[in-house]
Structure 1
Amino acid sequence: MSNSEQVIKQTEKEINTKNKKIVKGDSIVELAVNLALTKKIYLFRDEKKEGYAKFFQSGCYEIRKIQGRAFKDYLASLVWNEIKKPLCSAAMTDTLNTLEAIARSKNTEHELHLRTAWHKKSLWYDLGDWRAVRINSKGWKIVKNPPVLFKKLGHQRPQTEPVKAGNIRDILRFVNISQADQILLLTYLVVALIPDIPRVILVIFGDPGSAKTTFFELLKSIIDPSQMETLPLIKNQRELMQLFAHHFALFFDNLSYFPDRISDEISMACTGSSFSKRKLFTDDDDFVYKFKRLIGVNGINFLASKSDILDRSLIFELHRITNKNMLEKRELMQEFEKAKPRILGGIFDVLTEVMRIRKQGGIKLTEMPRMADYATWSAEVAEAMGEGSQKFTQAFKKNIEKQNAEALEASCIAQAVMKFMGEKEIWEGTGHQFLQELQKLDSDSVLLWSQDRNWPRTASWVWKRIKEVRVNLDRADIEASYNDKVRPRLIKLLNRKFKTTDSAGSADMLSNIKSTF
């Protein structure tokens, strides 16, 4: 029996002790604590050692943080209904602190999930109303009182109830995305619900009037309904970490640029890297946060200037909506809400088919891109939709090429290296010599690069900046390497296009020689 099922069994057992006598203490706090322990409340701690209560109310089990407002209201109501005595502010604080201490000291710990989770070879999706959808190779079903414990947060909205025989493609009626990118969007929506895999960062850009914000609002509504449909970029690390902890999907809206530190943290939050609480807070407790969140960003111009984040991105350009195709937003959202049960049901139908495919061995990609887990799941989704895995892999490959082009264009040092090596096969020298050599290029380009915030101001930063776009330069046939075992340390740049030309020329010469005999 799983930990989650044990919680339900234990809660049922404690509910059945309704007729047990409450031990009356000398104070209202003792009465309230004893009532909580003997009546309807099961206490446990989560993976962060915070106290939670599970109790039966309105026909279902609820899970609430002991120090949260919802549990406070429930406890006050319970005490009044049972012993007709109110809990004053001080008594409530003492009662909650006592129950928190009991929950944290108990040897009962359960992981709380956010929106999706695996359990016994089934995928569970939280509907936000204490029900969840169980999805496996046999089909999908809405389950009351699921065995998986999900967090309930104040900003979350209940999800629309999905219907059978839906159609995921109905989402395409509401977005202005190119036909070539449609397969990428459809696979993204399905793979978004798979927990615990590294995730791509969705990057949306386009002109004013291209409905970038609306696009994110629709995705958020399908994946992770919330009162906070889109978010501004938070530069405070503590607040950003709070958002990662409280949202399964985060869509940052209307950004003009990415600070390096925020870019790094978003990359880490998508791929499962760790954040230590000790770095963020002033107390002595230490907890390592590990996220694999769904994150998107949008802006008028392309936002990400770092190769690292671009290599993890899925890029969509939205075009301005013409007057003849434009609907009032209110009208569009009304139509979308009508279609959402079918869209969501269609996603679950596809997931069911994906699990059948995986049960039979899954799809093996011949070439593994950087986001290999994501690409494999997406190829299986494309197959499950009847589109064929190759349609996805071809579209994804083109998107990666777009990522590389954008990464090179966004990097001032990459632009400098490519222009510098345009007519050279090989160059070797120090960082200082590289900066000196650039001064021989046209002054307008050098001036433009030097005004960029990421331009290396000193020789020691030259290789650090080149290293950030090393992979992208390699895809553009420029190899960059660094020898730190010699003094002075040397940067080596090799333009493979010259080698290709030379090889082709040698092959032609050999062919001509053979043809004369």
Structure 2
Amino acid sequence: MSDPFAPLAGPGARETAGRPAGAVCLRPVPADAPPAPERHPTLGEAAGRWVYRDAAGELVGFALRFDQPDGGKEFRPLSCWRMPDGRMAWRWTAWPAPRPLYGHDRLAAAPAAPVLVAEGEKAADAAGRLLPAVVVITSPNGSKSAAKADWAPLAGRRVIVWPDADEAGAAYGTAVVALADGAGAASTAILSPPAGAAVGWDAADAEAEGWDAARAADFIASAAVPVARPDGARAGKPPVAAGKKSSGRTDSDPATARRRRPAQRDSLMGLCEGVGLWHDEEGEGFATIPVAQHVENWRLDSKFFRRWLAVRAYEADGLAPGGQALEDAVRVLGARAYSEGTERAPCLRVGASEGRSYIDLCDSAWRAVEIDAEGWRIVSAPPVAFIRSGQMRPLPAPEAGYLVEELRGFVNVERDDDFVLLLAWLVAALRSRGPYPILTFAGEQGTGKSTLSRLVRELVDPNAAPIRAAPRDDRDLIVAAVNSHVIALDNLSAVPAWLADGLCRLATGGGFASRTLHTDRDESVLQAVRPIILNGIPSLTDRADLASRAVTVRLKPIAETARRGEAEMLANWQTAAPRILGALFDAISCGMRRFDSIQLDRLPRMADFARFASACEPAFGCEDGTFLSAYNANQSDTIETTFEADPVAVAVRDLIRNDCPSGWHGSATDLLSALNMKASESVKRLKLWPATAASLGNRIDRIAPVLRAQGFIVERRHSGVRTISIVPLASEAM
């Protein structure tokens, strides 16, 4: 290693190595000092150069790194001196102790910021880039020279040390903590390298590995929670060992305890001043948070609220809160939301208040559309408590003055009636109150079912994943319903019984119950009503209960000459979607205006849906009665398809028409026996064919609506003996 005290070439070359007698180090460097050299006389060009400044930002010197041909590296301090003859000269020598801290100027400029001590200037710069809210400093001349630095500026500061991952680093960290405590630091803590860190790993390595500010903040939070020094501990005096006497106050002294830094949990809760706490009817806690010029509503146990609170803590202290402290704070806030907050109804995408409907635009300003009988408008502070999930996306910004007919250019329906039914489903799905019909797109391959499902959803409830595969079980279906207003399932080949039951409950309103995680007795219940979109090639409404809630829109194949490129179609859609959405809002307003005047002679299964859609007919551009005629015809077609797909229903019809023209009366056992006598072996091997009398009884209950649609009266009697009665209407009339 070359001599670190070698004089500069030139005027100082005749001087001996080291500091000449009578020379004085100049701190700060005078403005009229000669320029610092760019090269070392023997080591050459520097690979790294770090500027040291004092508290006022004045230059005090440099530290430089020189890379060697053998892969080694040399470090040299560069300081300015006034020589005995009065001239000023730069020398490759360190400042006399106490030496300046690298980053002293930043330390002085941010007196309230926490302080991070890194090992070496390169690591300090990397840590500063990763943690911009923290003041990062280091001491000069390597890990063994920590005691020669001036640590007095750390008095009253919160200090964390990030040493290198090696023995020298551990020694440096221990030394800095002791020196900072001796200087009067308010608190000190030291970081341990993460598991698997290479020898010598430091902040520069972390940055090279792709760490970001969040990960660096989490790492800083892993340091031991800083503890304030007792006021009785004098600067420069080490702590008293256990068992030895001390004249200073102890941790058990109430006066000292009062002056201790508050628990991190309490600090986090203090950051929530101005946050509105409330709960829903199930007791789940929510927070209304002021952000910029609007407010946002989040579940207290959501990652969004935790992230907001962590960011607030980082902005306030420069440190990420520990996981346990965050968990404790959220738990206490949840208890306060339940015991002290008001009860409100959280609304996902749609809501209502005082006769007005509200639709969350899901934009960054948390604006909503307000609709009443007079029209619609965008409002910045809706009175309902909208909540959001991470998958929700903004609606198109609605534009007024257009017609719903513009949607026709994107929909290849077989009949005009189907377009009316689609419009009816859209206005229903944008309302805050169900029940909602289940929209089913049917058609052969190449009819655009998936594309149309995406577009329709974008008009109601845009989502990061607009259409999805079928859920695996009830729990997946519940999760989807909790996080979005619309459930859209794509490319179904069949609808199994459990899924059909779940979709029916979601469409008309029903509860899903499951055991609360990590408990044996508590039960979590979801009460939800959601619009649903299904698409597939085969019939998806084979079950009667699903068919009675469905609106089936049949699509025709798209001719090769009529196909458009996806980019062209999406560009046209981006222009049209805001207009179509505004027209749908006009239709909803029309329906609200006319709803009370609409009286239907015969109410279908989805009565509220049918009545509101009928009220919207003028906005659809059709005459009164058009919707109800289309809806009744659609229901008849769907039920007929459902009947033909059910082997038991077909077998019962054939049995009565061919063998029992006056009707069937008897037990389920007798009916099963009669059906088995008539059914072919291939039919009896079907999974849908009942194996027992009990399963047949259940099937009769399910297919009763489609049998009635075929002209049969179905009754179950329980007077002594359980019997089934299935009678043709013509026979009943006789």
Sort the TM-score into its range (normalised by shorter chain). 0.7 to 0.9
- The correspondence for 2:632, drawn from 377, 397, 418, is 397
The answer to which structure, 1 or 2, has the higher relative contact order (CA under 8 A, 6+ apart) is 1
The residue identity in structure 2 corresponding to 1:492 is S
Distance 2:543 2:320 in 1: 58
Match of 2:97 in 1: none
The residue identity in structure 2 corresponding to 1:169 is E
* 2:525 is the counterpart of 1:303: no
Match of 2:575 in 1: 338
Distance 1:407 1:36 in 2: 56
Deviation at 1:32, TM superposition (A): 2.4
Deviation at 1:278, TM superposition (A): 3.9
Q: What TM-score, normalized to structure 2? A: 0.61
Q: Secondary structure at the match of 1:87?
A: coil
Deviation per CA, 1:141-173, whole angstroms, max 9, x where unpaired?
A: 101121111111100001111011122221111
- The correspondence for 2:328, drawn from 94, 103, 126, is 94
Where do 5+ consecutive residues of structure 1 fail to align?
A: 1-22, 504-517
* 2:371 is the counterpart of 1:138: no
* 2:49 is the counterpart of 1:49: no
Match of 1:203 in 2: 440
Distance 2:555 2:462 in 1: 23
Distance 1:86 1:292 in 2: 39
Q: Secondary structure at the match of 1:55?
A: strand
Q: Assess if the C-alpha contact under 8 Å between 1:425 and 1:496 holds in 2.
A: no
Distance 1:336 1:85 in 2: 46
Q: Assess if the C-alpha contact under 8 Å between 1:206 and 1:317 holds in 2.
A: yes
Q: Assess if the C-alpha contact under 8 Å between 1:201 and 1:313 holds in 2.
A: yes
Alignment CA distance shift 1:280-1:400 (3 Å): farther
Deviation at 1:328, TM superposition (A): 2.3
* 2:450 is the counterpart of 1:450: no
Q: Assess if the C-alpha contact under 8 Å between 1:238 and 1:280 holds in 2.
A: no
* 2:608 is the counterpart of 1:379: no
Deviation at 1:60, TM superposition (A): 1.4
**Bigger Rg, structure 1 or 2:** 2
Distance 2:271 2:573 in 1: 47
Q: Secondary structure at the match of 2:495?
A: coil
Deviation per CA, 1:388-443, whole angstroms, max 9, x where unpaired?
A: 231111111101111220121121111101121223422333333333333554xx
Distance 1:127 1:24 in 2: 47
* 2:605 is the counterpart of 1:370: yes
Match of 1:157 in 2: 393
Q: Secondary structure at the match of 2:635?
A: helix
Q: What TM-score, normalized to structure 1? A: 0.85
Alignment CA distance shift 1:36-1:461 (3 Å): closer
Deviation at 1:369, TM superposition (A): 0.8
* 2:652 is the counterpart of 1:417: yes
- The correspondence for 1:168, drawn from 388, 391, 404, is 404
Deviation per CA, 1:299-333, whole angstroms, max 9, x where unpaired?
A: 11102321111111111222221211112233222
Q: Secondary structure at the match of 2:271?
A: helix
Which stretch of structure 1 is more off in the superposition, 85-94 or 252-261? 85-94
Match of 2:214 in 1: none
- The correspondence for 2:383, drawn from 116, 123, 147, is 147
Match of 1:328 in 2: 565
Deviation at 1:84, TM superposition (A): 4.2
1:4-153 to structure 2, matched below 5 A, reads: 26-37=262-273, 40-129=274-363, 130-153=366-389
Deviation per CA, 1:267-319, whole angstroms, max 9, x where unpaired?
A: 01111122234489845334432211101222111023211111111112222
Distance 1:437 1:69 in 2: 60
Alignment CA distance shift 1:458-1:214 (3 Å): same
Match of 1:490 in 2: 723
- The correspondence for 1:227, drawn from 455, 464, 467, is 464
Alignment CA distance shift 1:349-1:416 (3 Å): same
Q: Assess if the C-alpha contact under 8 Å between 2:516 and 2:524 holds in 1.
A: no
Deviation at 1:374, TM superposition (A): 0.8
Deviation per CA, 1:5-30, whole angstroms, max 9, x where unpaired?
A: xxxxxxxxxxxxxxxxxx99523332
Match of 2:513 in 1: 276
Distance 2:320 2:676 in 1: 79
Q: Assess if the C-alpha contact under 8 Å between 1:47 and 1:112 holds in 2.
A: no
Which stretch of structure 1 is more off in the superposition, 100-109 or 206-215? 100-109
Q: Assess if the C-alpha contact under 8 Å between 1:24 and 1:30 holds in 2.
A: no
Distance 1:99 1:474 in 2: 56
Which stretch of structure 1 is more off in the superposition, 337-346 or 226-235? 226-235
Distance 1:400 1:42 in 2: 48
Where do 5+ consecutive residues of structure 2 fail to align?
A: 1-258
Deviation at 1:383, TM superposition (A): 3.4
Match of 2:623 in 1: 388
More helix by share: 1
Alignment CA distance shift 1:266-1:96 (3 Å): same
Q: Assess if the C-alpha contact under 8 Å between 1:24 and 1:34 holds in 2.
A: no
Q: What is the number of equivalent residue pairs in this alignment? A: 471
The Cα RMSD (Å) is 2.3
Match of 2:413 in 1: 177
Distance 2:264 2:670 in 1: 78
Deviation at 1:94, TM superposition (A): 3.1
Distance 1:97 1:430 in 2: 58
Alignment CA distance shift 1:386-1:321 (3 Å): closer
Alignment CA distance shift 1:72-1:429 (3 Å): closer
Q: Assess if the C-alpha contact under 8 Å between 2:434 and 2:530 holds in 1.
A: no
The residue identity in structure 2 corresponding to 1:181 is D
Distance 2:635 2:318 in 1: 66
% identical equivalent positions: 28
Deviation per CA, 1:87-144, whole angstroms, max 9, x where unpaired?
A: 2333333333333333233242221101111111111011012110011112211011
Alignment CA distance shift 1:462-1:30 (3 Å): closer
* 2:525 is the counterpart of 1:288: yes
Deviation at 1:379, TM superposition (A): 0.6
Alignment CA distance shift 1:67-1:484 (3 Å): closer
Deviation at 1:467, TM superposition (A): 2.1
The residue identity in structure 1 corresponding to 2:727 is L
Deviation per CA, 1:224-268, whole angstroms, max 9, x where unpaired?
A: 010120121113222211111221111111111222122111101
Which stretch of structure 1 is more off in the superposition, 472-481 or 429-438? 429-438
The residue identity in structure 1 corresponding to 2:428 is V
